[in-house]
Each structure stands twice: as C-alpha cells, then as structure tokens.
Structure 1
Amino acid sequence: MTVFDYDRVSKLAPAVARERSEASPCAACTVRGMTICAPLDSNELAQVSALMTSVELQAGAPLFDEGEDAGNVYNLTSGTLKVYKLLPDGRRQVTGFLFGGDFLGLATQDTYAFSAEAVTSCLLCRFPRHKLEDLMQRMPKIEQRLLSIASNELAAAQEQMLLLGRKTAREKIASFLLMLAKRAKQRGQPENPVSVPMSRTDIGDYLGLTTETVSRTFTQLKQQGIINLMPNHQVKLARCEELEEIAGGY
C-alpha cells in the first residue's frame, strides 16, 4: 500500500510521525522489488538512500492532509494506510488502501490532492519531492518506474469505479476481500486467511456502503459458510470459488 522491527512505535506522541535515526534499512527491505527502488543498482540505491528519512506512524496518525504543501513523497514499507477525500458536506470518500511497497504523495500541483492516514502502525521512506525530481533527471529508471506505478493506480481507480457504480453490496464485499488476498500474495504474505485491518466504516467509505450494510454483508457471508471471521482482523476465505462467483469473476 523486513528483518527489523516495524512494530516499534513511539508511545509518547501517538498522533505524530516520528523520524528514525538508524542506518538505512534499504539493504534488508523485503518489499524493495515493489518500490521505486526496484530497478536500481547498488550505487544508484545509495544515492536514493541518501535522500531518504524513515518515518513511523501509529494507527490513526495522519501522514498528510488534503491541501497541505506537497513537499515530500513516500514509499510505504510496512503497514496499511488509507487515502481519502472529504466532500463539502463533511462526508468522506476513501479512495484507496495502501500496503507495503506502495508509493504516494506525488502531486501535479503544489498541494496534496487527498489525505493519508495510518490504519495500522506504519513505516515509510520519505523523500523531499524536489530532490527526488532532480534525481529522476539523472536516473531515468526511477521515472519509468513511477510511470508503471501510475498505470497500476489508474487500473485500481477504474476497478473502484466499477465497484461503486455497478455492483451490489454483496458483490462489493466479495470483490474487496479478493482484492486484499491478491495484494497480500503480491507482497509474499498469506492470502488466506486474509488480513482485514481496516474498520467497517473505512470499508464502507471505500465501497460506497453504510457501516451497517458492510457489517450485515460480512455476517451473511459468514452464516452461509463462505467466509469465517477470525481473531486479529483475519478473514478466512472458506469457499473461494463461490466468493469469486459472487464478485463476478474478479
């Protein structure tokens, strides 16, 4: 959206990002193959690492707010983030959930077009936007990688448009669970049971459903034996083929 401890988070300032002063974790990063650093050799990686600052967030802490100066870009290396926009009447539209390996913060204007907030404890690599742009001039590999990332984001946006506009609540929840399983597999993590760390309200704000509808649909799928709700925000996909049929061949 590694071999060192991603879960160690400051308990003194629970809603504020905390910079880490340790040596760069790039060499040990298990999601490097999914990040902007994937195509870089060791010398190029060292140059990118020199620009990077590690940042930790606790669950619920904001990374940045819509309209804030877009001075930095980020690679999420651990945890889950949600990105969202607020409507004029105060309603919220969650536009996506980000996981380890995901890149965020690029802006066509001088300010961020959306807000980002930690769903779970997160670790990110932060890069000054203008310095990374300068580096891209010397390393076309980074620009090419960002274009690839942008293409994937466009595909994800198109999928969400389908979810919001053409699917029933049951189809939306089934598609959402399969999407989480697919993303987990891409990161080399267990796809079943799948981790669902976000709240029912967050899921509803992503899928265009009320919290009550999300909860009711999960309960119905559980009662039918299609999924099992497990401890620690885990959902077992008990009958995957049936779930795929509900999702409409996701």
Structure 2
Amino acid sequence: MSRHELEACKRCDARHQGLCDALHDDDLHFLSDAAHRSAIAKGEVFVTEGNPARNFFNINQGAAKLYMDLADGRRQITGFVGVGDFVGLAAGTRYAFSAEAIEPVQLCRFDRIELRAVSARFPVIERRLLEIASHELVIAQEQMLLLGRKTAIERVASFLEGWYRRTLCADPGAPLDLPMLRGDLAEYLGLTIETVSRVLASLRRQGVVAVAADHRISILDHARLAAIGQTFA
C-alpha cells in the first residue's frame, strides 16, 4: 500500500475503535492491505439478507440501519451502527439481516479468507473479533430487555444515552446527532412516531434534553437521562 493510504488509515475516525485498534501503527498496514474501501450513498443497501456472507464491514464514517424482512412483507429494524462498528461478524454462511446507509457511509470491506490470514499472523485480531461478537450478544440482550420490560420513556432515554456513548461526545451540552429518521427510531423501539414525539416533549419539559428546530437533540442532564433509562417498568 502507498504511504498516503497508510497515513489515511491512521487518521481514520475508526482508527482507535473496533477492529483497527487491535494493531499498533507499525503493523496497521497488514490490516489496511486486506481492506477494500468503499463509499456508500445514503439509502444504498450494502448487506442483503440471505446473500452469502463472504465479507465483514467496518464503518469508518456515517451510520447505517440493520433490518430484517418478515414473512408478511413487513420490515423490522434491529439496530443502528456507526463509526467503529463491525457489521456481519455474527453471520453464518448467509447474512441474517440487511444493512442500509442512513447517511453517506465510508467503510472498509474485509473478505473473510483474507482477514483470516491477517488474524493468523496477529492473534490479537482474533481476540478483538471475539470481543466484538460478545458485545453484539450483549446488545441483543439489551434490545430484548428494551422491548420487553421498559416503558416508552425508558426506551427513548436508554437509546439516547446509548447513542451518546457510541458517538463519544465530549461536551454534555453538545447537540446529539441522530441520523436515523424519527420513523426508523420508533420502529426500532417498538413505538409509534407520535409516542416518540410525546416522550421527547416530556423529556424537554423535565429539562433532561433540548430539541432544536432541526430535531437535533442536546442532553442537558446526563444523570437524569441515565436514571430514567435504567428504570424498569
């Protein structure tokens, strides 16, 4: 790989998150050589449910939604991924979900066989992949709890707090970017759009969040938001 490409990898938003953080700068080129970089337009599907699971994807910029198509023609959103997230790791021989960019996405695509060769040289990558897979299981368990035991306001609060941690916001008062549509968020949380709007209005009245005209959200009271999200119904 060229020196320019390697320097670009070191400056990547996902450099110190997820898989890439497993290697030191001196060894990063081994992983970078196995990466196939792609730009995905908003609305473009880059993982299709049922297709052979030949690749893994590391999100370097932007966000995407994961969803499954139900037998009756409906679609269920099962999660959202952002910078540093690894997509497709838990798949068997075929993808169990689809992934669609909800804003412009930059990603690295790794062929399973090529990545296996790199991990054979650097066992730390195998360990990191195991950590990522374990984290995905925790997220799945949290989603079951979210839908099965929490009230509407607890679901929204849990999601906002989780997305805040994911984006690593340094300023508690900084606007929280939610790239997903309000309808997608409602579907993921098992709520209606109207209910999500009412919950946000309630959180605003309590002084927990502020909602700007462009729908960007600022978390004003992290402790209170976390307390609401952790409360069981």
- 1:159 and 2:142 are equivalent in the alignment: yes
- 1:44 and 2:27 are equivalent in the alignment: yes
2:201 aligns with: 219
Mapped contact 1:181–1:191 kept (Cα < 8 A): no
1:112 aligns with: 95
Counterpart among 175, 181, 191 of residue 199 in structure 1: 181
3-state DSSP class of the match of 1:36?
helix
1:92 aligns with: 75
- 1:228 and 2:197 are equivalent in the alignment: no
Post-superposition offset of 1:189: 5.4
Counterpart among 203, 215, 220 of residue 238 in structure 1: 220
1:63–1:95: structure 2 CA closer, same or farther, 3 Å change rule?
Answer: same
Post-superposition offset of 1:249: 5.2
Post-superposition offset of 1:133: 1.7
What 5-or-longer segments of structure 2 have no aligned partner?
none
Superposition pairs of residues 1-250 of structure 1, within 5 angstroms: 23-24=5-6, 25-185=8-168, 190-192=171-173, 193-248=175-230
- What CA distance in whole angstroms lies between the structure 2 residues aligned with 1:179 and 1:84? 19
Post-superposition offset of 1:233: 4.2
Tell me the amino acid that sits aligned with residue 238 of structure 1: L
Number of matched pairs: 227
Aligned-pair RMSD on alpha carbons? Answer: 2.1
- What CA distance in whole angstroms lies between the structure 1 residues aligned with 2:217 and 2:198? 15
- What CA distance in whole angstroms lies between the structure 1 residues aligned with 2:209 and 2:87? 32
Q: Percent identity?
A: 42
1:4 aligns with: none
- What CA distance in whole angstroms lies between the structure 1 residues aligned with 2:102 and 2:47? 14
Post-superposition offset of 1:150: 1.2
Tell me the amino acid that sits aligned with residue 185 of structure 2: I
Q: Greater CA deviation, 86-95 or 160-169?
A: 86-95
3-state DSSP class of the match of 2:147?
helix
- What CA distance in whole angstroms lies between the structure 2 residues aligned with 1:107 and 1:175? 24
Mapped contact 2:63–2:80 kept (Cα < 8 A): yes
1:41–1:246: structure 2 CA closer, same or farther, 3 Å change rule?
Answer: closer
3-state DSSP class of the match of 1:146?
helix
Mapped contact 1:58–1:118 kept (Cα < 8 A): yes
Q: Deviations over 1:84-114 (max 9, x none)?
A: 1121112222221111111112254221111
3-state DSSP class of the match of 2:77?
strand
3-state DSSP class of the match of 1:33?
coil
What 5-or-longer segments of structure 1 have no aligned partner?
1-21
- What CA distance in whole angstroms lies between the structure 1 residues aligned with 2:91 and 2:204? 43
Which TM-score applies when normalising by structure 2? 0.88
- Give the number of the structure whose residues are more often helix, by fraction: 2
1:16 aligns with: none
